Amino acid sequence: MRNESKTMPLTAGVKNYLLQCVAKAGTKPERILSEMQLCEKFGVSRITVRRAIQSLEQSKHLIRLPGRQGAFTNPELAMAVPFIVGVLYHDGTRNYFDTALSEILAGFMGALRNINCDFEFLHLNLNGNLTVAQEIENMAMDGLFWVTPAEDRIDDINELLQRQYPLVVMDAIYDTESRKPNGNTLLRDYEFHAAQYAQLMRQRQLQRVVWLGSYNISAKRFQKEMRKHGTDLPRKFFIDTVAEIPEKLPRLLTSDTADAIICTGDTERYNCLLQTLDAQENCKNIPIFMAKNHLTSKLQKKYSQWKIEIIPSYYDCKALGRSAGQRMAEFLQGKITGFPSFVVPVTKKSKEE
């Protein structure tokens, strides 16, 4: 899913702020800030402010009162003003989402279906004079959902957290070693997946299993689970980098008689594995286990000569999105001002989906 919009229009932040004023106003019309005050607040020109005000006058959110200067909130539309929730992805400049992230968003928006919300896909202007936190605050959102933020944006997120900004963060769903914000973050249960791998290996009576991927929390949990049930996999069975595969994997397949391969990671790692196996003899029957996604399904069809087995995921991305949406709902309803980061558990319901 691609959102082709670029940097957020200057009028949008002013409009969002004024809509918040309408929603929070009392039962009588309340005067909004003057044009000059709005110019100073948002660092924009007077014509930008006037365009925002005129737009809201046309929609009748702002009104003029006879004999009184300035624009006023319209109490008749206060209840109809939706919450405005912004969405940022990665470093805040990307304007596309892959399948997994689209599912996260579907779960997130679904959890907010009973709350009147509009969603805006944002694009940061990183070349401006404002800090990222200041730019986001000037967008005047009621809440922000930041999906898998880049590591160089973590300090900006922490600054927003210090300001108690209504922010929910979805941690990286593929990288266990990424730097984490200080709070308000949902984490994927990587250890659960590792335990599922180990259980499958025991069921298949596979003991000398090669793990291709970073020696991270998932790999260590897999090693621990295998050891718990009598299989002690030495460290050499865990090949961290793609560059090491052509050298180390053939040795493990021959001298150490490895009987299975678990390959985690990206296109480069998958391709390197298959190219390395192509150069080996008598390896056609070794099972290769990969997590289910759009890429591994294609590899299974393309390389039918290999015993590629796709492991179904019991951790759907919609479940992650739903948890994030539930936290956002609590922000919008005024129930919380922040929350400790937590691992989203794999539930029976998400398994069935």
Of 56, 81, 106, at which residue does a domain stop?
81
pLDDT score for 315 = 63
For residue 184, pLDDT beyond 90 = yes
Q: How far apart are CA 302 and CA 300, in angstroms?
A: 6
Q: What's the pLDDT tens digit per position in 107-119?
A: 999 999 999 899 9
Q: What's the pLDDT tens digit per position in 250-288?
A: 999 988 789 999 998 778 999 999 899 988 877 778 999
- 211/297 same-domain check: yes
- 171/197 same-domain check: no
Q: Rounded to 5, what percent of the chain is helix, strand, coil?
A: 45, 15, 40
- 70/125 same-domain check: no
Q: Mind giving me the DSSP string for 49-62?
A: HHHHHHHHHHTTSE
What's 237's DSSP letter? G
φ/ψ (deg, to 5) at 226: -65, -40
3-state secondary structure of 95: coil
- 88/185 same-domain check: yes
- 108/177 same-domain check: yes
CATH of the domain at 97: 3.40.50.2300
For residue 305, pLDDT beyond 90 = no
- 155/177 same-domain check: yes
- 323/183 same-domain check: yes
Consecutive H or E run containing 271: helix 267-278
- 197/306 same-domain check: yes
Q: How far apart are CA 283 and CA 19, in angstroms?
A: 65
Q: For the residues 329-336, what does the mean pLDDT come to? A: 96
What is the domain count for the chain? Answer: 3
pLDDT score for 353 = 43
- 288/340 same-domain check: no
- 266/218 same-domain check: yes
- 296/340 same-domain check: no
φ/ψ (deg, to 5) at 309: -115, 130
pLDDT score for 31 = 92
The reply to whether the predicted model has a pTM over 0.85 is no
Of 58, 81, 104, at which residue does a domain stop?
81
For residue 2, pLDDT beyond 60 = no
CATH of the domain at 21: 1.10.10.10
Helices (H), 59-205: 99-111, 132-138, 154-162, 190-203
- 72/214 same-domain check: no
Of 81, 101, 128, at which residue does a domain stop?
81
Which of 119, 56, 110, 55 lies closest to 83, judged by CA? Answer: 119
Which structural domain range is residue 15 located in? 1-81
Q: What's the pLDDT tens digit per position in 132-146?
A: 998 888 888 899 999
- Split at pLDDT 50, 70, 90, the class of 4 is very low
